[in-house]
Amino acid sequence: MTVAAKICGLTDAAAVAAAVENGAAYVGFVFYGPSPRNISPEKAAALTASVPNSVQKVGLFVDPSDDLIRQVLAALPLDLIQLHGSEPPERVRDIKKTFGLPVMKAIKIDSAASIADASPYEGVADMLLFDAKEPKTMKNALPGGNGLTFDWTLLADAKIKSRWMLAGGLNAENIAEAVRISGAHIVDTSSGVEIEPGRKDPAAIKTFLMATQAIETQKQVET
């Protein structure tokens, strides 16, 4: 099994370089003002100028207007639009049609029942991303990147027809177990490779990516 990895919430050149040089399949940039990882389209364009075409550039948006998406795309080409808000399937479909790009929709998980929230997006979104749902009691909670995990066994037997990505509190220490339990083939981390919110640690990025590659090697050896 090959495990691909996305490093999200990148804000500086050293972190982008660490992601690319150590084998990230996706690099993610946040275009959401309240997030400490928010970045301007112009800065994101500068950071992605040297990213090879083999690495997919992802823009994360939260209930965005068409104008915001248009502003970002005018500055840099994205390979994938990630929607991390409360966008209904109709909005996902509309964004795909308007901008001609694949869309990944985040689904917040806190129970077995919340897995069913993915169903209306299957056949609409090109990919799904399963993330931990922030508790109502959590202060200053963000739509994502809160460093929270969820019960990965909820995905183990779920009949998900779409391609999907696992997120939520993933780091080098727990990634092997998360993949083993959930069956994920693609994983996403942000807070798990940070010194503080919005400030990535290049060494932690390298360690995380090495850990995902070790899972791949182990699976290949076992087969």
DSSP state at residue 23: T
- How much is the CA Rg of the chain, to the nearest whole Å? 16
Q: Tokens in use for 96?
A: 């795909």
Give the residue from 10, 69, 78, 70 showing the smallest Cα distance to 43. 10
| Candidates 94, 131, 151, 157; catalytic one | 131
Residue type, 136: K
Q: Tokens in use for 87?
A: 């966008």
| Candidates 8, 117, 126, 151; catalytic one | 8
Per the CB < 8 A criterion, the answer to whether 37 and 47 are in contact is no
Query: If residue 28 lies in a helix (H) or strand (E), which one and from where to where?
Result: strand 26-30
Q: Tokens in use for 54?
A: 């083999």
Active site residue 8: yes
Residue in this structure with the two tokens 């996305």, named with its chain if needed: 6
3-state secondary structure of 27: strand
Integer angstrom CA distances of residue 141 from 51, 122, 146, 168: 31, 27, 7, 13
Active site residue 131: yes
Q: What is the 3-state secondary structure (H, E, C) of 195-210?
A: EECCEECHHHHHHHHH
Distance CA 27, CA 53 (A): 11
Question: What amino acid positions are annotated as catalytic residues?
Answer: 8, 131
